[in-house]
Each structure stands twice: as C-alpha cells, then as structure tokens.
Structure 1
Amino acid sequence: MKWPPLTDRTFTGLWLVCITVVLCITGALSRIDNVIYDAAQQNTDRDIPTDVVLVTIDEQSLSSLGRWPWSRRMHAQLIDRLHADGAKAIGFDVMFSEPQKEDLAADRLLADAMARAGNVVLPVVIEKVRSNGQLVETLPLSSLVKHAAALGRVHAELDADTIARSITLWEGLDQPVWPHFAQAMLTVAGQLPGPFSRRAPQVPSRGVAMLTKHDQRYINFSTAQRHLHSLSYLQVLRGEFRPDTFRDKLVLVGSTASGMADSLPTPVSGLRQPMPGVEFLTNAMVSIRSQTLITRAPFWLSTLLACTLALLPMLWLPYSRTRTGLVATIAFAVLVLAAAMALPVWWCVWVPMSAGLLGLLCAYPIWSWRKLESASQFLDSELSRLQQELGTAGQTALGTDAQTLHPDADPFQRRIDQVRAATALLQHWDQTQRETLAFVSHDIRVPLASAAAQIKSELGEHHPTHKQMVRALAWTEDFLQTSRAQMLRPDSFSELNVMALLHEVADDIYPLAMAGGLTLVLDLPDEPVWIQGNVDTLSRAMANLLSNALKFSPPAGLVRLSAKLGYGQVHICVTDQGPGIAPQDIERLFKRFSRLEPRPASLQTGVGVGVGLGLYFVNTTVHKHGGTVTVVSKPGETTFVVNLKT
C-alpha cells in the first residue's frame, strides 16, 4: 500500500510536534523557563504585610552582644519581651539541638520562657552528618520540644540552577510527618487557610532512610521591590521599640549577618545579594496565608500545551504573505511570553512554555523551508517540461545559458536563472508571434480591401463574391484588432473622458440601429468621467458590445447604454431585449472563436456575423485596463457590465 504524500502543512506540523516533544522530555529549556518565572517575580510589586515582623541577628547585634552563639538566657529574655508585647506567634530560625554545656540553667530558662509564651515554633533540619552519609532528622533539645507550640522543617528546594523558588509542604524520613516551618507558624497563629492540611499525609513507604516529600509549591515572593518590617535583635532585647509593636504580629527571629546567615539565591535576589533564610521563610509564610502559592502544571499538560502552541502558526502561515506571517508569528510569541509570565503571578499556575515558544518560533523557518522545497520541486518539473516542449532552443536556454551566467551559483539560484532564461525566451517568442500576426493581418487586409473595391466597381456591391470579400475583410480586421489589444501596455495609456467616448460610439452605432428598426437609449451622466486608457481599443470594445446587442435584439426592440459611478469605478451597462443566454453558453462567451447565432433579421441590419473574436476582444481590452466584464441574462433581457477604475 502506497501512502499519499504529506502536504506542506502536515509535514511542518509533524516537525514542530517532534521538536516540541523532545524539548519537553529532555528539559533542555528548563533554565529558560526559570528565567521567565524569575522575570515575572522581579517585576511584580505586592503589598508588604503589616502584621509580620522580622527580628534580625545582624552585625550591630553581634558587635554589641558578642560572638555567636549567644547565651540562651538572652533568647529567653527576647521571648519574654515579645510575649509581653502581645506577639501572636514567634518563630525561631535558630537551631537548639545541643545543650549549652557551660550554662545548663540557660536551657531551662529558655524552656520556661517558651512555656510562658505558648506560641514558639522551633525548626527541624533533615541533613547528612557527613558527605554521602545517611540522612538524619535533627530536632531541638527534648526539653525545648516539650514546650514548643509546633515544629516545622526549615528547608528550601533548589532548582538545577541553584535558585530557591519552592518549598515542600510536608517532608520526613519514610513518612512526610513534618510540616514546613511557615505552615507551622500559621497553624500556631490560627491563620492557616482551609485548603491546607493540618495533618501529615499518608504516602507509600520508601524506607526509614529515604526522604519523602509531598506537595511541592512555588513561592510568589512579596519582597521583590520592598522589604519586610524588621528590628534588630539588640533593639528588642533592650526594649527599644514602641509598645504594641508586636501585638497580634507574626514574629520570625533569624540571622541576617553576612557570613552567618543561611542565605539563599532567589528569583528576586539573584546571586549578587542572596536572601537570608529567615526572609525566605517569611515569604513562604505570606504566600501560604494569602493562598498565592504556585502549582506547577503536570508534565502531560505542559507538553500538550507546548505542542498546541507550536502548531497554532499553521492557522495563518499558509494564508499569509511572507512578511505578514513573520510579523504575526513574532507577535503571537510575545503574547505567549506575556501569558507565561502572568500565569504564575496572577493565577498561581506555572506552565513552562519555553518548549512551546521555541516550537512556535521554529514554525516560520520550517514552513518557509518546506515551501522552498516544494517550489524547488515544482521548478524542476516545470523546467524539465519546458525543455521537452521547447526542443533544442529550450535546452540551450535552460541548460547552458544559466550555467554560463552563474557557474558557481547554488542549485536554487541556478533554477532561478533558468526560469529567467525561459521567461525571456517565451516573451521573445510571444512578441514575435504577435508581430507576425499583426504583419500577416495587415498584409492580407490591404489586398482584400483592394479586391473588394474592384469587385464592387465591376460586379456591384450585392454580388455574392463582394459579400464574401467584405466578410473576409471584417474577419481580418478582427484578427488585427485582437492582436493590438493583446499588445496593450498600461504605461502607454493616456487620460480620457469615458463619457465622451461612449457618446461617440453611440453616434457611430445609431445608423445601424435605425436600419434595423431598433431604439438606442442613452442613460449617461452629464459630467465627464476621466480614466487612464487607450481610446481606440476601448471605443472598439464598446462598439462590439453595442453591435452584439443589435444582433440579438428582436424587431422594434430597445438597446440601452447606461453608466454610473460608485466605489472608485465607472459601471457601463449595455442591455438588450434579446432571447437571453443560457447559463452553459455564458461560460464560453469570452473565449476565442466562440459565438452565438443571432436572429435572422440581423443579416439585414448590416451588422453581420463575426468569427467569434468580438467578445474575446472586449474581455482582453477591459482586463488590460484593469477592469472586469460580467454578464447577467434572463429570457427577454441580457446585460453586459463593464467595470473600469476611475
């Protein structure tokens, strides 16, 4: 079974789908997706929440309170001050996994302060104790865990480019038992939105040494253009803040000092100024509370959308010009890029579109390549056909001449040269044919006219031989005029008044109408209508239409010549009251040597029967003038309409 050849559209579509699917599967453009995501985050300005305060362990605090680690007595004092001022929840991004050996009472004081506050959240860290070692969960001291309101995992997911964009809501060894630190903070404050679970999910076991993650989400950062409200640890410890500064606030305590903070590169900070871990946690908490965490679209949906985007240019490229298609494709790509940036920010859905974008941008060059191949194959077949039809002269023009003109040209350029040579040869032959036809028509016309005059003087004008000579002379004149119409060139046209031309033609035709007992009615505008054209050929064309109307009109019939202006054109109508033209005859009216039989009485009107070139001449002349000829016919009325540009 032989498969039918692929169309250019199908061929291009298959290529685009293959390219897009490969890019999606390999993830080759994932970094570009990340750049698009980061650009959207960097250019979004959101309101900073007023009920979130950072207490920062900064350089000033370290300089005044001494080197880290500080005594846990100070942390206890800090908690007491925050609790006394009415903090709703206190989160410590500080690990207390080992006892303070030099001051064991300090741990007890810290635990007591946490118990009094009742709203302190402590971190859990899952890490490897050594390179390539086993993962372990590091928790705070048991005495502190006992009085902690909640525990949360402090962790950020790093993408392949080492940028932190996301968090996992639940993690743990074997089972995801630990909520994220930001989620734990909101649970303690009673501000965790309903869609978020307060209980650890149950997932299939992977083993006690395996890290299990559940529900990865991306953060809509709030600190792209602004910074969160913060106070120095030293200021809070000394009470250097206004009363109610922390009342009903979510307070996070963490380090921002250089060299000490667990800084992370983020979309809004980049590698130059990494974001402190405590600020990252705050952004995650704000995003959870406002329910603006971003969900990444599943792979199958991203792939399907990417393939759809890549195929969409096939809706307009086959019907567009080269430049229009290119502009439309680029404009659509810009629109898709804007949508890729807007979706995560405003609709909290991230659909990676770089594969679809590249496929979309590949549509134009692949389509152009395919059309170029098709054009090349068509040129080859047509040139081969021309060589066979033109014989030796064609083989010389299409073979030797093109290689002589451009011996080093590429194959496609050589084909173009061959087409030019063939065009020049055909134009030369066409011009030669026209000149020969005009020459022969003229040379035949002169002796025929002399012979007709001699027969008329010797035998009389009613002699059958004279009538045959007159008819032959008329046919020769038709051939000559047709040749002239075919050789018309628009650059030789001059300005003419088409209304004056119609009046002159009507005056010439009027005696024939009177001789046939017909009425010629004119309905022409009084004002002049100017067009660019050739007076002789247009006059003969209109005369042919009026002559045909006389031929097919019944005795005592009426022929109407009218004209009107509209939409930058002049519409000239010639209407007769003849028997009408059958629909199957209308299709061949304007072909060479095609004619309909007139009424018998027309032979007495002096109009005569032509060889079938009259309407062909009309059609050729009107088209050379950039116009059209149409026919509307029904029994008892036929109208020829000529439309010319003004």
Structure 2
Amino acid sequence: MNGPRAIRSRSRLLTALAAASLVTLLHLFAVTWRADAWIYDTLTQASSHAADDRIVIVAIDEKSLTELGRWPWSRRTHAELLERLGDAGVRGVALNILLSEPALFDPEGDALLAQALNRSGKVVLPVYAEAEHLNGPSVELMPIPEFAAAAASLGHVDMVLDGDGMARSMFLRAGLGSPHWPSLALALSQIGNQPNPTAELPGLRVADLQDASPHRWVRDYQVLIPYTDPPDGFQSVSYVDVLKGNVPTSLLRGRWILVGVTAAGMGDELAAPGWHATQPRMSGVDYQANALNMLVRDDAVVPLSITWQIGLSILMVILPLLLLGLPGLQRTWRPVLVALLAVPLLSWLLLRFGHAWYPPVPALAVLGLGAVLLVLRTLRRTRLQAQSDPLTGLANRIKFNEELEQELRSSRRTGQPLSLLLLDVDHFKRLNDGLGHPAGDEVLRALSTILRGRARRPRDLVARLGGDEFAVLLPETTPQAAAAIATTIHVDLANLSSRTGNHMPLPPFTASIGIHTTQSEEETAAYVFELADNALYQAKQAGRNRSFSHTGERGCAPS
C-alpha cells in the first residue's frame, strides 16, 4: 500500500489541496484585484464598443454657461428645454440635475418645470445618495414632490469607484434600506416600454435583503460597463443650442437624451478604463450614457460570483494534475504550461462571448508559483543527479571532493578529527569478467548498501569514486573509531556471502580498506586522499581483505 504509486497519489492529493486552499484565499481577500483590474481594462479596450447613435448628450458646457449666465439657472430654462425636446419627438430624457429643493425666489419656475415634466411624460429625474455627515448614515436626495410626481420615473445616480479611482461598474438597482430604485440609465432605457415583471435584469446579485438596515444604502445587480472608445464619444450638443433651436430636429427625434453638466469643475469627474492622467476626466453624464449604451445594446458584463470564481480557479490550478499521464503530457511542465495558457484564454472567452468576467490572476499566481517550484525542483534534481552515481545512488567524485574540502575546513576550525576510508573490491576485474557485468553491478550495489549502513550520521558521506573504488568520509571520528568501522565492514561482507541480491545470487567477495585520520591543520584535501590511498595500497600488499592505516594501526577481516 506504500508503494511508489501510492506515494505519488498522496503527493498529488496534497498538492491539489494546497493549491486549492491558496487560490481560495487569494480570491476571498482580493489580494490580486489590481492586477485583475488591469487585465480587465486591457481586454475591454481591445474590443471595440461603438456608441449607439440613438443616444445624445445635451451638455451644460462652457458655451451654455457663457450665454445663459451663472449656474444654477432658473427652472424656467429647464422647462423650456423640455418643451423643445418634446416638440422634437425624443424617445426619453434623463435630466441629470439636482432638484431636491424648491426655488424659494422663483416658485413660478418650479411650477413651469413641473408642468413641462407632466406634459412630456418621458422625463427621468435623479435620486442622489448622500451621507448626512462624515461616516454617517446615507439619505436619499429626491426631487421635490411636485417634480417627483410629474416625472415618468426616478433613477439613482450612485457611482461606484474601485480602489484605484476607476469607475468600472454600476449597480442597476439601489436604494436606502432596499434596492428599490433603478439606475438612471436603466430607468431611461425603460421609458415607453411595458415593464415585464418576469424579465431578469443582468448583473451579479449582491444585496443581502434580510439583514439590510433601513439606514444603509443597499446595492444590487452589479454590472461592469464596457466603455466606448473614447468614453465621451457620444453625439453631444450644447444645451444653449437646443434651447435656441439651433440643433436639427432630425438629430433629436427618436433619441434617448441625457442632460447633464460637462463643464470642467462643476459636475462629477471620473476616471474610466483607458483613462490617462493627461486626459480630461469623464463627466457623470458620460458615465450614464455609457451605462445606457450597455443596456440598449445588451452588452452588460456580469462579474462571476465569488463561488464561481473560486470553483473555476480551483479547476484551473489542479488541471496540471488531471492532465498528467495523457499522451504527450507525461512531463510535469507541459500540463503546467497548458494550464497557464488556459486560464487567460478562459477569462477572455467568458468576457468576449459570455459577457461574464472571471478574474484570472489568482489562478495564474498559484500556477506561476507551482511553475517556479517545479523549476527549482528540477534544478535540484539535476544538481543531485550531477553529484550522484547512477548505479548505486551514492555521491560521485565531484560531490566527494566538495565535501572533503568543506569537512577539512570544519576540522581545522573545530579541532575535531576527520577520518577517510578508501575501499576497493578485491579482484573485481576478475569477478566482473568471469561472471559478467550484471553480477559485477550487483556486487557494487551490495557494497554500497553495507557502507550506507555503517555511515549513518547526517554528515557522514559514502561515495563511489569510480569503478570499484569507494570512499567513506567520517567527520569527528578518531583513528580508533575509524578502524572499528572498517572492521565491521569486513564482518558485514563476510556475512553477506550467504545472502542473495535482488536479481541473482551474490558471489562471495571481499574488500581492502585504507584509513587516514587528519593529524595536522596543514593537511590539504589532496594530501589526505593521498595518505588514505597509500594505506589502501598497503592493505592490498598485505594480502587484501583487510584494512590498513598509514599511522601503523592495522585490522583484518575475520576469515
């Protein structure tokens, strides 16, 4: 049950759980929202969104202010404008002007405007949300009762800004205590249409109506606005030109009209996706025009719910594990690459064809982290492979040389002894030629197992230097302890003759061992190795199957 397949399955499961947990946290805490917003802006700007020619802005601009005088104007003026627009046969009008207080010194102007609103029957007036004081509860600033009763509809003009100051989204319904007001653009788009109670608005449902406070501004049906390029690219005429009859009737007939302030420094000024600091900011009426354009063209982009975002991201981050083993995808980096490409592609496809926004950065971040860890693991594995012997799995000559230098420095610093054992299999060439290379390989693997068993401390190192030559590096080991270890190796080899290898019976074999323990701080790595090699030569000259120390201490394996 603990075989390689079970270990791999357990490892994949733990990896999947870790990736899913991390991507969930990134979504829940909106860690990557700025990067996601940048990607959304880039993708939406790459797609052309034309301004509908049925939308016309009547701008309260610098020209109108120059000719009609200081703001605010008499409401007689607005009444006259509505009469002009009504005579032109417009489809509907959004008068985006604050009318929450009566004109104390011009009650006749209020009466004229109320009459014009009533005669038109196509005018939408705004409802503003405003805090009574800093951090206090919101209040609804509605038109005075005369205007509210005469208007065809009321719509909120709540504008939503993201953390970077960009106005990317709108809530199609909002209100104090409950989302009972449509947005101004939505109310205007519904002028002249029979309301369909079964028709579902686009947008993400975000309002918690059960726990809503009557003093809290509640929003619902969130949509992302696909802005035109440029955001103020709608047909626009000056307020004063309409008032004086200088605008052709054909330009107004059958159009949706939005009346609002565009003069710099007077109204709302917003930044839209693609906006640069050197450009004039978008006005509030342009924001409403883009929202209306979105609604009449059925282009609203709906953010996916957090549940869907997390679900899709979890699927994306575990996709490499699901793809592993498919033809052509056996190597781990290929499924990871496929997933890294699939995430932005999925986000673009949902935006382009599904009018839905899926933020891809959390999944990309987790996959990117996985790719980095994969590269590091590959580099580590490559380094280990470069420093290990493929037959026995022991350290190779390169690794041995590095460790010998490092342990010598440590020995000089601490004053502790360092012992080195060099081993050769006795008459290995004869054994290898007589029994064949498979038997020789089995002998080398068996010896490596014995040496590992006798060098078990963390800093001990067993290396195959080449052919049948092995080395055992023993930090903080005295000559006597090194000689005792050499003796146990001889004993292990003698006991091995009755056992079998993994594939075939092991032929009996012995080994000769040379031992050297550092005696002086002046000894170099080359000198230590030379003395151990000389000791190995002496062990062979003395009859093999024994150990020899160049200091004169000798040991012999039991016969």
- Does TM, scored on the shorter chain, surpass 0.5? yes
Within the candidate set 146, 149, 153, 1:146 is matched to: 149
User: What amino acid maps onto 2:128 in structure 1?
Assistant: V
Is the Cα–Cα contact under 8 Å of residues 39 and 341 in structure 1 kept in the other structure?
no
Cα distance in 1, alignment partners of residues 408 and 348 from structure 2? 49
Is the Cα–Cα contact under 8 Å of residues 9 and 318 in structure 1 kept in the other structure?
no
- State the shift of 1:364 in Å: 1.9
| CA shift digits 1:475-521 (9 cap, x unpaired) | xxxx9xx99xxxxxxxxxxxxxxxxxxxxxxxxxxxxxxxxxxxxxx
Within the candidate set 11, 30, 43, 1:40 is matched to: 43
* 1:281 corresponding residue in structure 2: 288
Secondary structure, counterpart of 1:244 in structure 2? helix
In the alignment, does 2:316 pair up with 1:312? Answer: no
Matches within 5 A, 1:483-562: none
Distance 1:55 1:384, change over 3 A: same
Distance 1:378 1:161, change over 3 A: same
Cα distance in 1, alignment partners of residues 151 and 55 from structure 2? 20
* 1:258 corresponding residue in structure 2: 264
- State the shift of 1:385 in Å: 5.8
Distance 1:235 1:399, change over 3 A: closer
Within the candidate set 213, 218, 222, 1:207 is matched to: 213
Matches within 5 A, 1:359-378: 359-370=366-377
Is the Cα–Cα contact under 8 Å of residues 24 and 355 in structure 1 kept in the other structure?
yes
Is the Cα–Cα contact under 8 Å of residues 84 and 243 in structure 2 kept in the other structure?
yes
User: What amino acid maps onto 1:402 in structure 2?
Assistant: E
Is the Cα–Cα contact under 8 Å of residues 157 and 165 in structure 1 kept in the other structure?
yes
* 1:69 corresponding residue in structure 2: 72
Cα distance in 1, alignment partners of residues 331 and 384 from structure 2? 25
- State the shift of 1:349 in Å: 0.9
Cα distance in 1, alignment partners of residues 40 and 105 from structure 2? 49
- Structure with more relative contact order (C-alpha pairs < 8 Å, separation 6 or more): 2
In the alignment, does 2:297 pair up with 1:290? Answer: yes
- State the shift of 1:192 in Å: 7.2
In the alignment, does 2:174 pair up with 1:171? Answer: yes
User: What amino acid maps onto 1:123 in structure 2?
Assistant: P
Which structure has the larger Rg? 1
Cα distance in 2, alignment partners of residues 313 and 149 from structure 1? 56
Over the matched positions of the two proteins, sequence identity in percent amounts to 28
- State the shift of 1:335 in Å: 4.4
Cα distance in 2, alignment partners of residues 183 and 398 from structure 1? 74
In the alignment, does 2:199 pair up with 1:195? Answer: yes
- State the shift of 1:291 in Å: 2.4
* 1:55 corresponding residue in structure 2: 58
Distance 1:408 1:281, change over 3 A: farther
Distance 1:342 1:262, change over 3 A: farther
Is the Cα–Cα contact under 8 Å of residues 232 and 282 in structure 2 kept in the other structure?
no
Cα distance in 2, alignment partners of residues 408 and 226 from structure 1? 75
Cα distance in 2, alignment partners of residues 125 and 24 from structure 1? 32
Is the Cα–Cα contact under 8 Å of residues 94 and 123 in structure 1 kept in the other structure?
yes
User: What amino acid maps onto 2:199 in structure 1?
Assistant: P
Judge which range, 185-194 or 28-37, deviates more. Answer: 185-194
Cα distance in 2, alignment partners of residues 316 and 238 from structure 1? 69
Cα distance in 2, alignment partners of residues 369 and 87 from structure 1? 66
Distance 1:204 1:8, change over 3 A: closer
User: What amino acid maps onto 1:221 in structure 2?
Assistant: Y
* 2:222 corresponding residue in structure 1: 216
User: What amino acid maps onto 1:184 in structure 2?
Assistant: A
Is the Cα–Cα contact under 8 Å of residues 317 and 364 in structure 1 kept in the other structure?
no
In the alignment, does 2:123 pair up with 1:104? Answer: no
User: What amino acid maps onto 1:401 in structure 2?
Assistant: N
| Alignment gaps of 5+ in structure 2 | 410-421, 438-503, 505-559
Task: Give the paired residue count.
Answer: 419
User: What amino acid maps onto 1:63 in structure 2?
Assistant: T
* 2:252 corresponding residue in structure 1: 246
Secondary structure, counterpart of 2:22 in structure 1? helix
Within the candidate set 236, 239, 262, 1:230 is matched to: 236
Matches within 5 A, 1:92-131: 92-131=95-134
Distance 1:232 1:406, change over 3 A: farther
- State the shift of 1:79 in Å: 0.8
User: What amino acid maps onto 2:281 in structure 1?
Assistant: P
Matches within 5 A, 1:378-527: 401-404=401-404
Cα distance in 2, alignment partners of residues 242 and 151 from structure 1? 28
Cα distance in 2, alignment partners of residues 345 and 125 from structure 1? 33
TM-score, length basis structure 2: 0.65
Is the Cα–Cα contact under 8 Å of residues 189 and 250 in structure 1 kept in the other structure?
no
Distance 1:197 1:332, change over 3 A: closer
Distance 1:328 1:408, change over 3 A: farther
Within the candidate set 134, 137, 156, 2:137 is matched to: 134
User: What amino acid maps onto 1:233 in structure 2?
Assistant: Y
- State the shift of 1:250 in Å: 0.5
Is the Cα–Cα contact under 8 Å of residues 58 and 257 in structure 1 kept in the other structure?
yes
TM-score, length basis structure 1: 0.57
Is the Cα–Cα contact under 8 Å of residues 100 and 143 in structure 2 kept in the other structure?
yes
- State the shift of 1:17 in Å: 2.5
User: Which is richer in helix?
Assistant: 1
User: What amino acid maps onto 2:148 in structure 1?
Assistant: V
Secondary structure, counterpart of 2:109 in structure 1? helix
Secondary structure, counterpart of 1:144 in structure 2? helix
- State the shift of 1:18 in Å: 3.1
- State the shift of 1:356 in Å: 0.8
User: Aligned-residue CA RMSD in angstroms?
Assistant: 4.2
- State the shift of 1:323 in Å: 13
- State the shift of 1:51 in Å: 1.0
- State the shift of 1:5 in Å: 4.4
Within the candidate set 297, 303, 308, 1:301 is matched to: 308
- State the shift of 1:437 in Å: 8.3
* 1:355 corresponding residue in structure 2: 362
Cα distance in 1, alignment partners of residues 399 and 180 from structure 2? 81
Cα distance in 1, alignment partners of residues 171 and 408 from structure 2? 64
- State the shift of 1:254 in Å: 0.5
| CA shift digits 1:377-421 (9 cap, x unpaired) | 89999799666xxxxxx99x5775333567899xxxxxxxxxxxx
User: What amino acid maps onto 2:65 in structure 1?
Assistant: L
* 1:82 corresponding residue in structure 2: 85
Judge which range, 214-223 or 9-18, deviates more. Answer: 9-18
Cα distance in 2, alignment partners of residues 403 and 197 from structure 1? 71
Is the Cα–Cα contact under 8 Å of residues 192 and 288 in structure 1 kept in the other structure?
no
Distance 1:71 1:13, change over 3 A: same
Cα distance in 2, alignment partners of residues 294 and 398 from structure 1? 60
Is the Cα–Cα contact under 8 Å of residues 323 and 329 in structure 2 kept in the other structure?
no
* 2:477 corresponding residue in structure 1: none
- State the shift of 1:189 in Å: 3.4
Is the Cα–Cα contact under 8 Å of residues 221 and 268 in structure 1 kept in the other structure?
no
Is the Cα–Cα contact under 8 Å of residues 75 and 110 in structure 1 kept in the other structure?
yes
Distance 1:60 1:197, change over 3 A: same
* 1:563 corresponding residue in structure 2: none
- State the shift of 1:243 in Å: 2.5
